[in-house]
A and B are shown apart, each in its own frame.
Chain A
């Protein structure tokens, strides 16, 4: 019964989306967006959110009670599984994850419909119409080819279980996080399409779009960071980024969203980069859909092969062609009717942000090309695999100069500036970077990229706080704190990446019980290997005692696990974490001669990669809170900087149009 309620709610939601599409279209066609039927748009969007939530809760319920008459539960769950994995099983499969996708999308649509009243009504109607159009495609996909509530004629006695790789607390929350990010970008996409339709690209428009982009970007950042850590400890080969097609699929929307985030800020503050911002809005969501397509269709071989189904791939491809192709054609037709925005000189905040945008777009292009290249050559019967030897140096060529600009950009003023004014903090940061470079180059024999990475990370770590100079820390708005924290996070992550690739030490060995092993500063021995049993797996566990530089011995118990529903072998690594790095221990199979395959890596400062990722997301969070709070104050009609900022600017004023909200130094003597 519960499953049927879910299905009915979903059909009703789809019908409402159709209504929203038509009414929104009528609204967008009318002069002021106030056609009579347009009054239905906002309620339809809000109700859709409720109905989708009902459908999703129904799915969670059938998974929680393991209702095996529902096909999806029978295929993907098992009554003996822990409750948390029963629930995460609801979205750890294709149908459930698509339901999660439309649910989040409907919630986002409902939220805009309920609260957003700053833009002209016609733009809003066009936005909600576009949102319904995108939504409708996914409803069709879900209801026609991936019904999550399908019943089985015969109820099986037991379910099949969930892919063991996915039975992990971290991973239970990885897909929802990424989906929220993807869907947030769908909102930005709808705004961009509406702007093209109504030819209305204004700073106000950018301010409305910004929190959505920022929110989506925060979730994408967390999703990628968590996904990277998952791949690190679950796949058992010590790497934290494999340039796997599916990892790239999540990185590409993030790159586009990062560029969009910065360009939307330029549009909000300075009314420049209009066309570019709209383009990025289209690209960012395109990359999300492309990612979903690559993961679901199985068109590229990847560690995420569990999500594959070619027929569904065709459906997503059709949606991809319809939305992305449509938006690009619309863009090509309309782009030159969007009036040019404000101009600015190269040496200005805008100039630095343009460099950032170009760099991010270039990296996006590099990753896109590398990801799709095997697909292209395969069409000519040549099998190639593109890996780190291409991605690492080529993306670094663009990334490392961007870090230099990142040290300088936030210190520049809007519109035009003079390098002489900011020379002191920049010189300090560069001096630190060069000192580190010389120090590393003299004493250590490491590659050029890690060396530059270490040096620039040190410089950026200092420079990222420079915008705080001469500010009262208490009065500094949250958005500026957010920017500094996020940029500092980039430095932290870069340091982790560079340190790991420069100083990592590896030990692969077939060891017998009693053997000594040593890797980097760690020494220890394999004491014993014994069998252990978990709720739905058995494992061979290696018991090791390891010590860092003759310190106290620590226990490490890596396991090689065998799951039986479904049958699969996974590696459960042991991690010994210190402030200055992690020891990574994995155990593999046993050979005929009784030796065990052990893999050990000492990875200095590797944890900084994920701390950095979290700092970046945290900075985004601070900024989002700051922006939304400022917006709420503005709605209550209280005096606020942003209102002052919107007032017409005096022709010759050097004043920052958005003085406190975007991080330019206040009142620096010229």
Chain B
């Protein structure tokens, strides 16, 4: 009986805590952008097969070869990804090394996409079940990550890259190389 009472008061205490938490959160402003919790962390280990006939696949080891890189999460079926393609090419022309992960895609679709929209990527991994995408904390396509030479994620860009983002990403890439 004594144990029952303690358990019951514990339930009351948990409820009180939750009410307090709700009240606190209600008073907080909402920020709708979901930033990856992995910024500042090492990239999780993965090894993806090639998504295109023109480029090799991508593993986490490729991202820790000493050179800072951009990691672009894209898909051939994603319209904003086609929109940002020219900016990725601009980034490549200005010296950025770009690797990519294609999400829930088919090799022939990726090949066609790259033919039409250009191919600034050195490696493209094929992620059929959004496994790598989720593990690095990306919630949609397109997203672009800046990865330092030791494999640490230093920056996350959510959504398509616009012209004004190009210098920003180059700056982040330079910082990652320091």
Interface of chain A residues 581 through 611 with chain B (CB within 8 A)? 588-593, 597-599
Given contacts A376-B21, A382-B37, A592-B83, whether A508 and B30 have CB atoms under 8 Å apart is no
- Chain A CB within 10 Å — which of B30, B35, B79, B109 has the most? B79
Q: Which residue of A lies closest to B23 (CB)?
A: A317
CB–CB A383/B15 < 8 A: no
Which stretch (B70-78, B93-101, B143-151, B164-172) binds chain A? B70-78
Measured in the bound complex, the distance between the Cα atoms of B22 and A385 in whole Å is 17
Interface of chain B residues 1 through 17 with chain A (CB within 8 A)? 1, 4-5, 8-9, 11-12, 15-16
Interface of chain B residues 103 through 153 with chain A (CB within 8 A)? 104-106, 109, 113, 116-117, 134, 139
With beta carbons under 8 angstroms apart, the residue of A310, A335, A389 that contacts B4 is A335
Which residues of chain B come closer than 8 Å to A590, judged between CB atoms?
79
Is A665 located at the chain interface by the 8 A CB criterion? no
CB–CB B82/A510 < 8 A: yes
Measured in the bound complex, the distance between the Cα atoms of B162 and A11 in whole Å is 56
CB–CB A317/B19 < 8 A: yes
Measured in the bound complex, the distance between the Cα atoms of B20 and A458 in whole Å is 46
CB–CB A510/B16 < 8 A: no
CB–CB A331/B105 < 8 A: no
Is B32 located at the chain interface by the 8 A CB criterion? yes
With beta carbons under 8 angstroms apart, the residue of A275, A298, A508, A598 that contacts B105 is A508
Measured in the bound complex, the distance between the Cα atoms of B76 and A332 in whole Å is 59
Interface size on A, residues (CB 8 A): 43
Which residues of chain B come closer than 8 Å to A299, judged between CB atoms?
22, 25-26
Which residues of chain B come closer than 8 Å to A317, judged between CB atoms?
19, 22-23, 26
CB–CB A325/B23 < 8 A: no
Given contacts A592-B82, A593-B116, whether A509 and B32 have CB atoms under 8 Å apart is no
Which residues of chain B come closer than 8 Å to A592, judged between CB atoms?
82-83
CB–CB B26/A597 < 8 A: no
CB–CB B11/A332 < 8 A: yes
Q: Which residue of B lies closest to A387 (CB)?
A: B134
Given contacts A379-B25, A509-B76, A510-B79, whether A384 and B37 have CB atoms under 8 Å apart is yes
Which residues of chain B come closer than 8 Å to A314, judged between CB atoms?
23, 26
CB–CB A336/B5 < 8 A: yes
CB–CB A508/B75 < 8 A: yes
Is A320 located at the chain interface by the 8 A CB criterion? yes
Which residues of chain A come closer than 8 Å to B104, judged between CB atoms?
506, 508
Interface of chain A residues 349 through 401 with chain B (CB within 8 A)? 372, 375-376, 378-379, 382-385, 389
CB–CB A329/B12 < 8 A: yes
Measured in the bound complex, the distance between the Cα atoms of B75 and A333 in whole Å is 59
Which residues of chain A come closer than 8 Å to B117, judged between CB atoms?
593
Type the 1/0 row for B51-76, where 1 means its CB is closer than 8 Å to any CB of A: 00000000000000000000000011
**Chain B's interface: helix, strand, loop or mixed, by majority?**
helix
Is B18 located at the chain interface by the 8 A CB criterion? yes
What's the nearest-Cβ distance from chain B to residue A210, in Å? 25
CB–CB A383/B79 < 8 A: no
CB–CB A383/B34 < 8 A: yes
Type the 1/0 row for B21-46, where 1 means its CB is closer than 8 Å to any CB of A: 11111101010101101000000000
Which residues of chain B come closer than 8 Å to A383, judged between CB atoms?
34-35, 37
With beta carbons under 8 angstroms apart, the residue of A297, A328, A591 that contacts B15 is A328
CB–CB B1/A336 < 8 A: yes
Is A293 located at the chain interface by the 8 A CB criterion? yes
Which residues of chain B come closer than 8 Å to A588, judged between CB atoms?
79
What's the nearest-Cβ distance from chain B to residue A591, in Å? 5
Which residues of chain A come closer than 8 Å to B21, judged between CB atoms?
372, 375-376, 379
Is A321 located at the chain interface by the 8 A CB criterion? yes
With beta carbons under 8 angstroms apart, the residue of A331, A382, A593 that contacts B82 is A593
What's the nearest-Cβ distance from chain B to residue A101, in Å? 20
What's the nearest-Cβ distance from chain B to residue A622, in Å? 35
Is A477 located at the chain interface by the 8 A CB criterion? no
Measured in the bound complex, the distance between the Cα atoms of B105 and A376 in whole Å is 36
Measured in the bound complex, the distance between the Cα atoms of B81 and A592 in whole Å is 11
Is A444 located at the chain interface by the 8 A CB criterion? no
Which residues of chain A come closer than 8 Å to B26, judged between CB atoms?
297, 299, 310, 313-314, 317
What's the nearest-Cβ distance from chain B to residue A334, in Å? 10
What's the nearest-Cβ distance from chain B to residue A595, in Å? 8
Is A452 located at the chain interface by the 8 A CB criterion? no
Given contacts A298-B30, A508-B75, A510-B76, whether A328 and B12 have CB atoms under 8 Å apart is yes
- Chain B CB within 10 Å — which of A297, A506, A509 has the most? A509
What's the nearest-Cβ distance from chain A to residue B52, in Å? 15
Measured in the bound complex, the distance between the Cα atoms of B14 and A376 in whole Å is 13
What's the nearest-Cβ distance from chain A to residue B80, in Å? 9
What's the nearest-Cβ distance from chain A to residue B160, in Å? 12
Which residues of chain B come closer than 8 Å to A273, judged between CB atoms?
none
Which residues of chain B come closer than 8 Å to A567, judged between CB atoms?
none
Measured in the bound complex, the distance between the Cα atoms of B15 and A310 in whole Å is 20
Going nearest first, the 10 A-B pairs with the smallest beta carbon separation are A332-B8, A508-B77, A591-B79, A321-B19, A328-B12, A589-B79, A591-B82, A336-B1, A510-B77, A313-B26
Supplied contacts A376-B21, A383-B35, 11 more A-B pairs, CB within 8 Å: A310-B26, A317-B22, A325-B12, A328-B8, A328-B15, A331-B8, A379-B25, A506-B104, A592-B82, A592-B83, A597-B79
A-B contact pairs, 13 of them (CB 8 A): A317-B23, A317-B26, A335-B8, A336-B1, A509-B77, A510-B76, A510-B78, A510-B79, A588-B79, A589-B79, A590-B79, A593-B82, A593-B116
**B residues apposed to A, CB below 8 Å:** 1, 4-5, 8-9, 11-12, 15-16, 18-19, 21-26, 28, 30, 32, 34-35, 37, 75-79, 82-83, 104-106, 109, 113, 116-117, 134, 139
